[in-house]
Amino acid sequence: MSRFGRVDVWVNNAGRGISRKVLDLTDADVDEMIAVNLKSVLYGMQAVVPHFQERREGHLINVSSFLGRVSFVSFRSAYNAAKAGVNILTANLRMDLRRTHPGVHVSLVMPGAVSTDFARNALGGTPPMPGGGRSPMAPQTAEEVAGLIRDLIEHPKAELYTNPACPDLAVRYYRDVEAFENQIFGGK
């Protein structure tokens, strides 16, 4: 603030993974995922949005995950739950600001698989993908996702799936969860 006098765009991009199925989670596992993946984003929102409200403009971008919308990788259970929390907090803030501060944009970015060290650094490592290792989406590079975020800054919208396969997957998932799971991971 002292150097530039204002913030135009704020990107909350925090993430730490864990590989634990729901029934294997401990309190410490859940607390870690909530602290890193949800609370850090909340604190960033609380830090910058009052500045945006005062200026009556600005753009908040929260980076979540496709896994916060579609339960595609069950061994990321606590991570997925924390990212789902990011999704709903972002939507709630957008709704809160809609009438009183229409110049403040609030966007949610949901990448699919991204080629980073995230999986290697996940607590508990990263087991093979369910469903025989098949993934319906090819990983993107961090640079590809960053380019899409740059475009989002220029053309704000509520939500952005970064992986070209993701929008169709989300629609298929919500249309019939059981059919989606059977198709991706095999029958019962």
Residue 154 lies in a domain: yes
Residue 132 lies in a domain: yes
Exposure class string for 117-156: b at 16+ Cβ within 10 A, else e: ebbeebeeeeeeebeeeeebbeebeeeebeebbeebeeee
Residue 121 lies in a domain: yes
Residue 13 lies in a domain: yes
Spatial separation of the C-alpha atoms in residues 4 and 170, rounded to whole Å: 40
Handedness of CA 18, 20, 22, 25 (dihedral sign): negative
Helix (H) or strand (E) holding 93: helix 77-98
66 close to 33: Cβ distance less than 8 angstroms: no
Rama region for 9: left / alpha / beta (φ>0; ψ in -120 to 50; rest): beta
C-alpha distance from residue 157 to each of 18, 60, 119 (Å): 30, 11, 29
C-alpha distance from residue 169 to each of 14, 67, 69, 78, 161 (Å): 24, 11, 10, 21, 10
Structure confidence at residue 154 (pLDDT): 97
Residue 4 lies in a domain: no
Residue 76 lies in a domain: yes
> Which one-letter DSSP state was computed for residue 87?
H
Look at the chain and report how many structural domains it folds into. 1
Residues 6+ apart with CB under 8 A from 104: 49, 52, 53, 56, 57, 58, 59, 60, 97
Q: Which residues are catalytic?
A: 79
Residue 2 lies in a domain: no
Structure confidence at residue 19 (pLDDT): 85
- Residue 59 lies in domain: 9-185
CATH code assigned at 159: 3.40.50.720
Residue 160 lies in a domain: yes
**Strand partners for 123:** 18
pLDDT (tens place) for every residue of the chain, 188 residues total: 889 999 999 999 988 888 889 999 999 999 999 999 999 999 999 999 999 999 999 999 999 988 888 877 788 899 999 999 999 999 999 999 999 999 999 999 988 765 555 555 555 655 565 555 555 567 778 899 899 999 999 999 999 988 876 667 767 776 777 777 676 666 55
Spatial separation of the C-alpha atoms in residues 186 and 128, rounded to whole Å: 16
Spatial separation of the C-alpha atoms in residues 92 and 84, rounded to whole Å: 12
Structure confidence at residue 83 (pLDDT): 94
